[in-house]
Chain A
Amino acid sequence: MMNEMCTTPGQLELLYQLFASATHDASAVMCRWTNGLITLSLDEVREIPLESVCSEVDVEDELLTMVVLCLEGEIGGEMILTFDNTNGRQLAAALLGQEVGTSDEWSDLEKSALTETGNILGCAYMNALTRLINTELMPSAPYFVQDYGASVLQQALMTQAMTSDQALICRTGFHREGEEVNWRVFFVPTMEMRSAMERALSTASLKKAAHPQDSSERKECVPDGQHDEGSQNDAH
């Protein structure tokens, strides 16, 4: 099998730390965006065989409402924010201070509220990735799509599929006033992004091994001089 990019458990742990840091930033931004209503937590960073990826992350033939944001260029990826229809409309209504929409078609305002949410989360993740790999990332405008979750996730996996039989996925869950809700964020890096992240993490690991007294903070995987404690503000 062609698992050229099989990630070691140590690298996965470092990636987990990276995305936990990014999720923390995104959660702070989301909390402000929703007036304290919504927070995020990192569910998992996993490498999964392509044939079972959709069932493993529980995105199959359900029709979902999604906001997709692409990091364009070779070092890129896709971020997919997913909701079931009911939860998506509830979030849009909460953000707009309106009653939950009941018509079959989403209004432009509802779409815009979700798209902006995707934009804010995407920027928070992008800021964390930029700090890690020290490369400028080019986000696309987020766009709204209603389709089978598996169809969209598969499309995002294409660049990884070209060189690997495994997919690396970061999955984040949402909580509304402490209760878990059926919303998810998936980040699917391109192979070049995976390589860049793993190179940066290897460097960070070597530094960590050389200076173990500095290794207690979770952001140690971020290259020196690129910490930014106020990073959650970058998303705006």
Chain B
Amino acid sequence: MVLSTVLRAKTDKHVGMGQIALGCGHTRLTAVLGSCVAVTMHSPKHQIGILAHVILAQSSGRNSPPGKFADTAIPEMLRMMENAQVPKSEIIARLAGGANIFGRTGPLQIGKANIEAITELLEEAGIPVKAQDVGGNKGRRVSLDCQTGSLTIEMAGSPARVLQ
């Protein structure tokens, strides 16, 4: 029984701000989000998942880590999936994050801008968004199961939800 538990244990890999990580099988990719957005892609057939911790919408040509901006993260994720032999037609996306924790009401709504940019880029790339949990004013802790593609979302004061 104990041995079985050990063999089935998931390996957690934390994805920091602006990073992209790819995992397979029992790997679980985790991130903690405020206005940042976790963009996940998954191939059910290959049991490969990828998570980008996107901070801002537009790179405007700046030379930063590709995961930092939506417009550089999505192409990089697709390139990494292609390198892992995952056809684009098999990829399913899920999204979480984009909160407005400080409740600011000005014209610059970073979380909202992130979600809009990501949604548009995924649509242009022909990647369906199967589920999302975005907006609000609370942080999120997310965990992508690379085997199933399910995205578990925890928020302070709420029971965990699973986006299947």
**Which A residues are closer than 8 A to B by beta carbons?**
1-2, 50-55, 60-61, 63, 68, 70, 78, 145-148, 150-155, 157-158, 161-162, 165
Q: Which residues of B contact A150 (CB under 8 A)?
A: 32, 34, 139
The interface stretch among B10-18, B42-50, B81-89, B119-127 is B10-18
A151 to B18, CA, bound (A): 14
- Give min CB distance, B1 to chain A, whole Å: 29
A125 CA to B21 CA in the complex, in Å? 38
Whether, in the assembled complex, B93 has its beta carbon less than 8 Å from a beta carbon of chain A, the answer is no
How many chain B residues touch A (CB < 8 A): the figure is 28
- CB of B26 within 8 Å of the partner chain: no
Choose one: B19, B30, B34, B102; the contact of A70 (CB below 8 Å).
Answer: B102
Count of inter-chain pairs, beta carbons less than 8 A: 87
Q: How far is the CA of A68 from the CA of B17 in the complex (A)?
A: 21
Q: How far is the CB of A51 from chain B (nearest CB, A)?
A: 4
User: Chain B binding site: helix, strand, loop or mixed by DSSP?
Assistant: loop
Give the complex CA separation of A163 and B139 in angstroms.
23
Inter-chain pairs besides A60-B32, A147-B156, 13 sampled, C-beta below 8 Å: A50-B68, A51-B18, A70-B102, A148-B156, A151-B99, A154-B34, A154-B55, A155-B35, A155-B99, A155-B101, A161-B17, A161-B56, A162-B56
Measured CB to CB, the nearest residue on chain B to A4 is B62
